[in-house]
Amino acid sequence: MNSNRPRLVLGSASPRRLELLGQIGFAPDEVRPADIDETPLRGEAARDYVRRMATEKCAAVTAARGESVLTADTVVVAGRRILGKPVDRDEARSFLALLAGRRHRVMTAVALKYDSQYWQRLVETTVKLRPLENSEIEAYLRSDEWQGKAGGYGIQGRAGAFVSWMSGSFSAVVGLPLSETATLLRMIGLTPSERA
């Protein structure tokens, strides 16, 4: 093992981000979730908000010498409205009703810090959900898959059946743009591991 290799800290509690990292051969040395206030600023544009969240999460994770920190944030945007993680089933229902039958944008920002330097990438994907019956929405809500998901749905689960069209990065919609993340990690000398 290369002792000069930066240690990789994943600053996220998301099991999906951990799985996606493993999918491209990266295993973090440690998972250290960031805890920040995720309230959008008054009038803040979605792109600015998601970039700020990824960067603030990165800054909130303490890194020792030789450690790099990777964080990400994902939001769903309907028109100009930012849809974060629903607080309860009623909000998840309202999100799905809003998104049904229309296109929306999913923005994921990924941030990396190492040796007091920061890098960031923003990936935007357009997704269209087909029209949904109330019974379909209720059945999805009963599955509890909406919990902890921006916009109230997870494209990698049952809600994949709701998606009629997509343009962009599937992995970014799940929560981590793989190509951009791999590029950032290579910039600091991290390469995929055979054991990941």
Catalytic residue among 29, 35, 73, 144: 73
Collect all residues with Cβ–Cβ distance below 8 Å to 15 and sequence separation of at least 6: none
- Residues 110 and 54: beta-carbon distance below 8 Å: yes
Reply yes or no on whether 73 is catalytic. yes
18 within some domain:
yes
Collect all residues with Cβ–Cβ distance below 8 Å to 106 and sequence separation of at least 6: 74, 75, 76, 77, 124, 125, 126, 127, 150, 151, 168, 172, 173
- Provide the residue range defining the domain that includes 164: 7-187
133 within some domain:
yes
194 within some domain:
no
Beta strands in 79-162 (DSSP E): 81-83, 103-114, 117-129
Collect all residues with Cβ–Cβ distance below 8 Å to 32 and sequence separation of at least 6: 9, 10, 11, 61, 62, 69
Task: Supply the CATH number for residue 49's domain.
Answer: 3.90.950.10
2 within some domain:
no
Bridge-based pairing of strands 30-31 and 81-83 is unpaired
pLDDT 10s digits, 101-157: 999 999 999 999 999 899 999 999 999 999 999 999 999 999 999 999 999 999 999
CA dist 9 → 25, 30, 66, 88, 101 (Å): 15, 5, 11, 30, 39
Say what the pLDDT of residue 196 is: 44
Amino acid in the structure at residue 119 = W
- Residues 12 and 35: beta-carbon distance below 8 Å: no
Residue 65 tokens read as 């010498």
173 within some domain:
yes
- Residues 157 and 139: beta-carbon distance below 8 Å: no
Say what the pLDDT of residue 193 is: 80
pLDDT 10s digits, 11-62: 999 999 999 999 999 999 999 999 999 999 999 999 999 999 999 999 999 9
Residue with tokens 């990789």: 8
Domain count, the chain: 1
